[in-house]
Amino acid sequence: MTPTRLTGGLSRRHFALTLPPALLASGCAAPHRGTGRPGDPIVLTLLSHYASGALKEALRGPVDEWNATHDRVKVRTTAVEFSDLLTTFMVRQAAGQGADIIHPYCLWNGQLVQAGVLRPAPRAHAEEITRGYGRAAVGSSSVAGRIYGYPTEVQTYALYYNKRLLREAGVSGPPRTWGELEETAYRTTRRDRYGNTLVQGFGLSTYDDSTTVGQTLALLNAAGGRFVSADGRSTAIDSPAGRAVFDLEHRLVGKGASDPGVNVYKAFPSGQVAMVISAGWWTGNLKALMGKAYGDVGVAPLPLPEADGQHATLSTSFMLGVNAAGRHPREAWEFLRWLNTEKVSAKSAGKNATATRMSLLQASVGSMTGRADDMRTLLGEDSDPNLRPFLDALAYAVPEPNGAGAQQAKSLLRKNIEALWTGQRSVDESLRTTRRQVDQEVSRSW
């Protein structure tokens, strides 16, 4: 659901003008578009990464409901795998086949705005989004202060920990400070008599962009730092907060409490990692994978450098927006309003409970939206307590920077983090190289 399997983005300057066969096979050809006259309804296309399984079925429900209750405007969905999504948006736009409604990862919004793919939200919709969603969700859906869509899936980051492993190491609860985090990581690390690691105290992983970068940016935000400056034109990671994060990770790896080569998505469920930072989407996966052993899993807010600090973490988001080249923007925005703001009965949460269709959709697949009121209603008192820290974090999470060079900047940061973790660069060298490379990327004239 989230960009946890995110690979590299499209070339900065250009892209192929021919649709790849794989994308054509995924249903990218534009359907017939009606005129809106009686008997000839307008057909809006919606392109997302909800291509299979529970996600595809979850989206089908509200779309079928809309189509059954609206005669003049119909919605037709098409989907590609997440790894193809950004390329598909850009290639289809260049070919004049862009979908009316698109569902991007918000990291790409600056690039999509620069390429003329996204249309700014009309004033009335922008006001509804500002009223209905948390600050991080609104920030993710905005570029340079303008809102471009309705937030859908919103993920915040927190600390997962194995209660059994902490208890066996004599630790009574999750760490609240970085000092406690380090102490707990070293105490829970276990090796066999040959020196092979049996349990990592703290999981750092080079698995992909969002795993490597997500954990680091979450810690950076918790330390009061930022990856990119407020104006989006330079990196801010070469700062006291950034240095503190890189120092912390360097020590954890150097002292053997972290092994970045291990896939934490496999190692944590099998009891081989005591603590790891990840996003809330993982909770449902862990429950399904671990069975009874899921009872050992706890979730806590990110530890802070000092006990009296202000909580902060990372959030990542998707949104639904309208194509700048679409022929029926008013109808597209009206469908999005219906899907994302109109409240309907949420029977599973109580007799009189209500929530938006999008919140119901996300909750049905173990995710959240940025509408904290909906999430409080849908989670309820009997819900998994491990979801609560992610809901609470909606109030203080910091969205990923999403300027025009954001995807490339994220990839560059990942390479430098991995160079630090594997001993190829020192903390000083990693910070300097990150600053030089990312500054060049985000400051270029797009």
What pLDDT does residue 197 have? 87
Q: Express each pLDDT in 423-434 by its tens digit.
A: 999 999 999 999
- How many C-beta neighbours within 10 Å does residue 192 have? 8
What pLDDT does residue 129 have? 97
Most confident of 3-17, 128-142, 221-235: 128-142
List alpha helices for 99-169, DSSP H.
109-114, 123-132, 135-140, 163-168
- How many C-beta neighbours within 10 Å does residue 33 have? 17
Are residues 402 and 380 in contact, defined by beta-carbon separation less than 8 angstroms? no
Are residues 399 and 136 in contact, defined by beta-carbon separation less than 8 angstroms? yes
> Of 41, 32, 318, 284, whose CA–CA distance to 154 is shortest?
318
Report the C-alpha gap between 110 and 70 in whole angstroms. 33
Q: Is the pLDDT of residue 179 over 50?
A: yes
- What is the per-residue burial (b if ≥16 Cβ within 10 Å, else e) of 264-289? bbebbbeebbbbbbbbbbbbbebbee
What phi and psi, each to the nearest 5 degrees, are found at residue 154?
-125, 125
What pLDDT does residue 17 have? 28
- What is the per-residue burial (b if ≥16 Cβ within 10 Å, else e) of 201-217? bbbbbbbbbbbbbbbbb
Which two structure tokens, joined as six digits, stand for 282?
Answer: 């993982």
Report the C-alpha gap between 34 and 408 in whole angstroms. 39
> Of 418, 334, 404, whose CA–CA distance to 42 is shortest?
334
Q: Express each pLDDT in 215-224 by its tens digit.
A: 999 999 999 9
Which two structure tokens, joined as six digits, stand for 98?
Answer: 């862009």
Categorize the per-residue pLDDT at 383 as very low, low, confident or very high, splitting at 50, 70 and 90: confident
Which two structure tokens, joined as six digits, stand for 367?
Answer: 């995710």
Are residues 229 and 403 in contact, defined by beta-carbon separation less than 8 angstroms? no
What pLDDT does residue 290 have? 96
Categorize the per-residue pLDDT at 7 as very low, low, confident or very high, splitting at 50, 70 and 90: very low
> Of 230, 399, 212, whose CA–CA distance to 315 is shortest?
399
Q: Is the pLDDT of residue 110 over 80?
A: yes
Q: Express each pLDDT in 127-142 by its tens digit.
A: 999 999 999 999 999 9
Q: Is the pLDDT of residue 43 over 70?
A: yes
By CB atoms closer than 10 A (0-12, 13-18, 19+), residue 428 is exposed
Q: Is the pLDDT of residue 112 over 70?
A: yes
Report the C-alpha gap between 105 and 241 in whole angstroms. 27
What pLDDT does residue 445 have? 55
Categorize the per-residue pLDDT at 233 as very low, low, confident or very high, splitting at 50, 70 and 90: confident
> Of 241, 222, 84, whose CA–CA distance to 158 is shortest?
222
Q: Where are the beta strands (DSSP E) in 187-324?
A: 190-191, 197-199, 275-279, 297-300, 313-323
What is the bridge-based pairing of β-strands 73-79 and 42-48?
Answer: parallel
Q: Is the pLDDT of residue 310 over 60?
A: yes
> Of 42, 26, 39, 58, whose CA–CA distance to 339 is shortest?
58
What pLDDT does residue 141 have? 97
What pLDDT does residue 32 have? 44
Q: Express each pLDDT in 255-298 by its tens digit.
A: 999 999 889 999 999 999 999 999 999 998 999 999 999 999 99
Are residues 100 and 77 in contact, defined by beta-carbon separation less than 8 angstroms? no
Are residues 54 and 365 in contact, defined by beta-carbon separation less than 8 angstroms? yes
